[in-house]
Amino acid sequence: MGKVSTFTIDGVKCMAGEGSYIVDAARQNNIYIPTLCDVQGVPPKGACRTCTVRVNGKLMTSCTSRVHDGMEIENNVPELNDLRKSIIEMLFVEGNHLCPTCEKSGNCELQALAYRYAITVPRYPFLFPRRNIDFTHPRIIKDHNRCILCKRCIRVIKDKDGKNIFAFLNRGFKTRIYVDPDLAENLTEELAQKAVDICPVGAIIKRGQGFETPIGRRKYDKHPIGSELEE
Amino acid sequence: MQKPVIATTSLAGCFGCHMSLLDIDERILELAELVEFDKSPFNDIKNFTRQCDIGLIEGGCCLDENVHVLEAFRKNCRILVAVGECAIMGGLPAMRNGIPIKECLDEAYLNGPTVRNTNEMKIMPNDDELPILLDRVYPCHEVVKIDFFLPGCPPNAELIWNALNALINNSEMDLPYEVFKYD
Residues B6-58 pLDDT 10s: 999 999 999 999 999 999 999 999 999 999 999 999 999 999 999 999 999 99
B134-160 average pLDDT score: 97
Chain B positions touching chain A (beta carbons under 8 Å):
82, 85, 88-92, 94-95, 97-99, 136, 139, 141-142, 146, 148-151, 153, 175, 177-178, 180-183
Same domain, residue pair A42 and A119:
no
Task: Using CA coordinates, name the residue in chain B closest to A110.
Answer: B182
The values of phi and psi at residue A179, to 5°, are -95, 125
Same domain, residue pair A146 and A51:
no
Same domain, residue pair A161 and A55:
no
| Interface contact flag, B181 A115, Cβ < 8 Å | yes
Same domain, residue pair A94 and A189:
yes
pLDDT score at A1: 57
Band of the pLDDT at A209, cuts 50, 70, 90?
A: confident
| Interface contact flag, B149 A120, Cβ < 8 Å | yes
Cα separation of the two ends of chain B: 38
Same domain, residue pair A108 and A193:
yes
Same domain, residue pair A90 and A197:
yes
Residues of B in contact with A121 (CB under 8 A): 82, 88-89, 139, 141, 146, 149, 151
pLDDT score at A230: 87
Task: Using CA coordinates, name the residue in chain B closest to A102.
Answer: B183
Same domain, residue pair A94 and A148:
yes
Residues A123-143 as b/e (b if ≥16 CB within 10 A, e otherwise) read eeebebeebeebeebebbbbb
Residues of B in contact with A102 (CB under 8 A): 183
- The answer as to whether B113 is a domain residue is no
- Check if A96 contacts B (Cβ < 8 Å): yes
Same domain, residue pair A95 and A189:
yes
Task: Report how many Cβ contacts below 8 Å link chain A to chain B.
Answer: 69
pLDDT score at A221: 96
Q: Is the pLDDT confidence value at A231 over 80? A: no
* CATH code, domain carrying B80: 3.40.50.700
The partner residue sitting opposite B99, judged by closest CB among A102, A120, A130, is A130
The partner residue sitting opposite A118, judged by closest CB among B146, B148, B175, is B175
The DSSP bridge partners found for residue A166 are A179
- The answer as to whether B109 is a domain residue is no
Cα separation of the two ends of chain A: 28
| Interface contact flag, B139 A114, Cβ < 8 Å | no
| Interface contact flag, A223 B90, Cβ < 8 Å | no
pLDDT score at A214: 94
Q: What is the dihedral of CA A173, A179, A182, A187, to 10 degrees?
A: 170
| Interface contact flag, A224 B91, Cβ < 8 Å | no
- The answer as to whether A228 is a domain residue is no
Number of domains present in the structure of chain B: 1
- The answer as to whether B112 is a domain residue is no
| Interface contact flag, B91 A131, Cβ < 8 Å | no
The complex scores an ipTM of: 0.93
The partner residue sitting opposite A105, judged by closest CB among B99, B175, B183, is B183
- The answer as to whether B105 is a domain residue is no
- The answer as to whether A214 is a domain residue is no
A116-141 average pLDDT score: 95
Distance CA B85, CA B151 (A): 6
- The answer as to whether B118 is a domain residue is no
pLDDT score at A125: 96
Band of the pLDDT at B4, cuts 50, 70, 90?
A: very high
Helix and strand totals (H; E) in chain B: 6, 7
pLDDT score at A229: 92
Same domain, residue pair A111 and A49:
no
| Interface contact flag, A125 B142, Cβ < 8 Å | yes
Mean pLDDT of chain A: 95
A158-176 average pLDDT score: 95
The residues, any chain, with a CB within 8 Å of residue A101's CB and separated by 6 or more, are: B92, B95
Residues of A in contact with B85 (CB under 8 A): 98-100
Same domain, residue pair A165 and A112:
yes
Distances (CA, A) of A41 to A112, A165, A197, B33, B180: 22, 19, 15, 58, 32
Q: Is the pLDDT confidence value at A18 over 70? A: yes
| Interface contact flag, B97 A118, Cβ < 8 Å | no
What is the residue range of A19's domain? 4-76
Q: Is the pLDDT confidence value at A140 over 80? A: yes
pLDDT score at B160: 97
* CATH code, domain carrying A41: 3.10.20.740
Task: Using CA coordinates, name the residue in chain A closest to B88.
Answer: A121
Same domain, residue pair A51 and A69:
yes
* CATH code, domain carrying A118: 3.30.70.20
Q: State how beta strands B36-37 and B61-63 pair.
A: unpaired
- The answer as to whether B111 is a domain residue is no
Distance CA A197, CA A219 (A): 12
- Check if A114 contacts B (Cβ < 8 Å): yes
- The answer as to whether A119 is a domain residue is yes
pLDDT score at A73: 97
- The answer as to whether A184 is a domain residue is yes
pLDDT tens per residue, range B46-104: 999 999 999 999 999 999 999 999 999 999 999 999 999 999 999 999 999 999 999 99
- The answer as to whether B88 is a domain residue is yes
The residues, any chain, with a CB within 8 Å of residue A79's CB and separated by 6 or more, are: none
Query: Is the Cβ–Cβ distance between B148 and B79 less than 8 Å?
Result: yes
- The answer as to whether B84 is a domain residue is yes
- The answer as to whether A49 is a domain residue is yes
Same domain, residue pair A42 and A96:
no
Residues of B in contact with A114 (CB under 8 A): 182
Percent of chain B residues past pLDDT 90, beyond the cut: 96
Q: Is the whole-model pTM more than 0.80?
A: yes
**Sequential DSSP letters for A49-80:** -TTEEEETTEEEETTT-B--TT-EEE-S-HHH
Number of domains present in the structure of chain A: 2
What is the residue range of B90's domain? 5-95+133-179
Residues of B in contact with A90 (CB under 8 A): none
